[in-house]
Amino acid sequence: MNQRSAVNPSPVDLTNCDREPIHIPGLIQPHGLLLVLKEPQLEIIQLSNNTFQFLKLHPQQLLNRPLKDLLGSEQIEYLEKCLLKDFESVNPLKLTIETTEQNLAFDGIIHRSDGVLILELEPTQLEQEANFFSFYHLVKSPTAKMQNASSVQALSEVIVQQVRNLTGFDRVMLYRFNPEGAGAVIAEDKLEGPSPYLGLHYPASDIPKQASQLYTLNRLRLIPHVSYQPVELIPLNNPVTDRPLDLSFSVLRSVSPIHIEYLTNMGVAASMSISLVKDKQLWGLIACHHQSAKYLSYEVRTACEFLGQVMSLELAAKQDNEDLDYRMKLKLIQSQFVASIPQSEDFIEGLAKSESNLLNLASAQGVALSSGDDLVLIGKTPPEAEIKALIEWLGTKIQQDVFSTDALPKIYPPAEKFKAVASGLLALAISKTQHNYVLWFRPEVIQTVNWGGNPEKPVEIAPDGSLHLSPRKSFELWQETVRCKSLAWKPCEIEAALELKSAVIGIVLRKADELARINIELERSNSELDAFAYIASHDLKEPLRGIHNYSSFLIEDYAEVLNEEGNSKLQTLVRLTQRMEDLIDSLLHFSRLGRVELTMQRTNLNELVQNVVDVLQISWKEAAVDIRIPQPLPIVRCDPVQVSEVFSNLISNAIKYNDKTDKQVEIGWLVDAAPPEHPQAEEEAGEPLLIFYIRDNGIGIREKHLDTIFRIFKRLHTANKYGGGTGAGLTIAKKIVERHGGKLWVESTYGTGSTFYFTLRRGE
Ligand code: ADP
């Protein structure tokens, strides 16, 4: 498993182990030759220092020479044709090189890198001819078996058997990695005898990041002799780039001495690994071990690589298949669940109604639903205060809509206290700003993990005091008891949580739609009502005028004919028609209010109120009224004509409904008052409205009448008492304030006085 840099420009230590440039070791394995060619002449500009062993030619004899000198023009022509094609389909090129002693056959593997052509030559048998049918035979039956496997586990078991059949390795294992990079052997096929590695775990540090990257690029790696002597390249740097040659895609690239040490410690003499990639990530590795040296031809390696690719493709389908039943169950829960939400006023209430569904949706034992400051707890959960703190922490942590961990105490230490109920957390943010979350909890499940040797990062202190990494020496079973962990969340459970969010949002949107529709309906019926009131009152006035006129004629012309009682009744009739006309006028006025547009403008309330008071004083000059305005009034945005009417109605009431000899009226605004003492002043956007008041020392209003006085035509007194009135003034004032986006309310002490409050928007 271990894969580290070979030629170390600087020693591998704890600070640089993850940055080791293992793709540019400047070395190859000795079982083949590497030639770096400059196109188009195909001049050899760099090569491995082992040409003499194979070709009886020293590197210096070949360096800067055309490849033609080595291969002859016929083979060069063949090579040039191949260069025009996709390398995957031409490799290996069957090449022959004439030496002084004999004709040698090679598999030539070509690829381009760093602006040069790299030709790697591996000796092969002369008569061995690659053809499609032999390859097809190699892979036909293994692929069919793999496709028949019903699950990822079955597939893994098939592939290790098939790779072992194909290659004859002593041991073939499949490591599966978790998202953190730690691996476990989930399938193994081996010789009888050596102890099994099946079920063993390996820490993420066994494969540094750059090695894992290389595994995803170059899907097969063969080390025929673990105890090989690496061969250096001459010159060391690629002459075109003047940098070490990039060997990421080379088949002969030398591997890290630490990896070699790791294999040796494991008792491995030859190894091969095939990468399994899913969604561009290294999903797993098929690792093949042999107790003696072992070489495999390019064809067999390609067949293994092909099987690895088939498995990579099959993985997604098999994994989807695996959870099918469970996913169907989740879907069912979800649909029952979603169906129950729309009947509820808010989503928390809707979700909480179906407790068991909510828990089952994520196979959790506890759920917390949070909305603003409200928290609903279901099942086994941490205490409320702990959840609130956890939500605060989540706010900073949760990037996407969902956050999950099966080891909460590791990333959030306060969770140590409640690990028994919540070692696992799946959090769904419905709205972060509103603190709307659904949190699912899973209890701690204490597990025993079998490691292939102590998984702690092996560090040795060198004589000079520096720290060095060295691979594990022992692969003895090493058992660890894992605490503070829950069962892992399955992707389909996380998906179900996410889908719940869409469902909840869908419902919220539907509710908003419904509200909008009701609003439109309401507006329509309001304006119809206004229109009706207008027409009705308008049409009523005509016959009323007739009654009034005829009553007046009767009084004038028949006063002598009628007795005193008759005259008095006629007088009442006239008075009542007069009152009815006043009522109709009020109704007309009220209905008009809803029909005219507001003419909003910046308005200086000091002038406006002064005018109102001046007008009122004309009619109340005989009464001793002390009108006080303790501080200048602010500038507001309003329709001044309508707001004058509000002040006029409230001030005249303050004077009217006052039986004190020393009548006092105070007109002012609450400079510092804001919500929450006056929640009415909270505007929807959050900006406070200004609060105005008109306070009197009058008769006051009984608590039970505080609401009814705002009903149209509602008076608490007989028609003529306290100067009379139609009972529409407050209704009109309220309607005006509400049309301005404000509120009007009253506080009163019976017998002592009343204060009427209303809000208006500040004039910017
Ligand atoms: P109106 O003054 O024409 O009767 P309003 O709508 O202005 O009609 O008032 C409705 C009722 O509320 C009044 O009849 C009165 O009983 C009561 N009211 C209004 N303002 C005051 C006040 N400042 N003090 C005591 N009672 C009041």
For residue 261, give both structure tokens: 């040490």
Residue 317 has pLDDT above 60, yes or no: yes
Is the pLDDT assigned to residue 36 strictly greater than 90?
A: yes
CA 433 to chain centre: 14
pLDDT at 399: 76
- β-pairing verdict for 467-469 and 459-461: antiparallel
Mean per-residue pLDDT, 618-638: 86
**pLDDT for the residue numbered 127:** 59
Question: Kind of pairing, strands 663-669 and 625-628?
Answer: parallel
Question: Letter for the amino acid at 576?
Answer: L
Higher pLDDT among residues 270 and 537, named by residue: 270
Q: Which of 301, 248, 254 is nearest to 273 (CA)?
A: 301
Q: Which residue from 348, 365, 347 is spatially nearest to 356, judged by alpha carbons?
A: 365
pLDDT in tens, 106-158: 999 999 988 899 999 999 876 555 566 677 788 888 998 988 888 889 999 99
- Measure 731 CA to ligand 1 centroid, in angstroms: 10
In the reported structure, the alpha carbon of residue 618 is separated from the centroid of ligand 1 by a whole-number distance in angstroms of: 20
Q: Contact 487/406 with Cβ under 8 angstroms?
A: yes
| Banded pLDDT at 463 (limits 50, 70, 90) | low
Predicted pLDDT at 231 = 96
Taking alpha carbons only, the member of 483, 367, 487, 369 closest to residue 430 is 369
* Average pLDDT, rounded, for the chain: 84
CA dist 254 → 23, 246, 333, 719 (Å): 9, 12, 55, 108
Which tokens go with 212? 């894992």
Mutating to test ligand 1, I would choose from 589, 709, 747 the residue with most ligand atoms within 8 A of its C-beta, which is: 709
How far is the C-alpha of 735 from the C-alpha of 742, rounded, in Å? 10
- Whether the per-residue pLDDT at 576 is higher than 70: the answer is yes
More confident residue, 662 or 316: 662
User: Which residue's C-alpha comes closest to atom 4 of ligand 1?
Assistant: 727
- For residue 457, give the nearest of 8, 12, 145, 11 by alpha carbon: 12
DSSP-derived secondary structure for 278-313: ETTEEEEEEEEEESS-----HHHHHHHHHHHHHHHH
Beta strands in 674-716 (DSSP E): 690-696
Task: Check: CB of residue 486 under 8 Å from CB of residue 454.
Answer: no
**Residue 466's pLDDT band (boundaries 50, 70, 90)?**
low
Mutate to test the pocket of ligand 1, among 706, 712, 730 (most ligand atoms within 8 A of CB): 730
Return the ligand 1 atom nearest residue 649 CA: 7
From ligand 1's centre to the CA of 559, what distance in Å?
A: 37
In the block, residue with structure tokens 């073939």 = 172
User: Which of 74-88, 376-390, 664-678 bottoms out in mean pLDDT, i.e. has the lowest?
Assistant: 664-678
pLDDT > 80? residue 412: yes
Our mutation pick for probing the ligand 1 site, out of 657, 659, 704, counting the most ligand atoms within 8 A of Cβ, is 657
| Dist CA 96 CA 105 (whole Å) | 4
* Weakest-pLDDT range from 243-252, 518-527, 616-625: 616-625
**What is the distance in A from the centroid of ligand 1 to the CA of 634?**
26
Secondary structure (H, E, C), 209-226: HHHHHHHHHCCEEEECCC
Higher pLDDT, residue 133 or 514: 514
pLDDT band at 436 (very low <50, low <70, confident <90, very high): confident
Q: What is residue 761's predicted lDDT score, i.e. its pLDDT?
A: 87
pLDDT at 683 over 90: no
What residues does ligand 1 touch, defined as CB less than 6 Å away? Answer: 649, 653-654, 657, 696, 698-701, 709, 714-717, 725-731, 754
pLDDT at position 501 over 90: no
Tell how far the Cα of 726 is from the centroid of ligand 1, in angstroms.
Answer: 9
Q: Ligand 1 centre from 668 Cα, in Å?
A: 20
CA of 680 to the centre of ligand 1 (A): 21
Q: Helices marked H in 559-695 — which ranges?
A: 564-593, 605-619, 640-656
User: Counting atoms of ligand 1 from 1, which one is nearest the CA of 700?
Assistant: 25
pLDDT score recorded for residue 13: 46
Report pLDDT for 682.
63
DSSP tag of 33: E
Q: Is pLDDT at 1 greater than 80 in this prediction?
A: no
C-beta of residue 312 within 8 angstroms of C-beta of residue 276: yes
650 Cα to the center of ligand 1, angstroms:
9
Q: What is the pLDDT at residue 11?
A: 47
Residue 681 has pLDDT above 70, yes or no: no
Q: Atom 16 in ligand 1: which residue has the minimum CA distance?
A: 716
Q: What percent of the chain has pLDDT over 90?
A: 39
- Residues in contact with 510: Cβ distance below 8 Å, sequence separation at least 6, in sequence order: 342
pLDDT of res. 353: 78
- pTM beyond 0.85: the answer is no
- pLDDT: is 89 or 566 the higher one? 566
117 with 83: CB under 8 angstroms?
A: yes
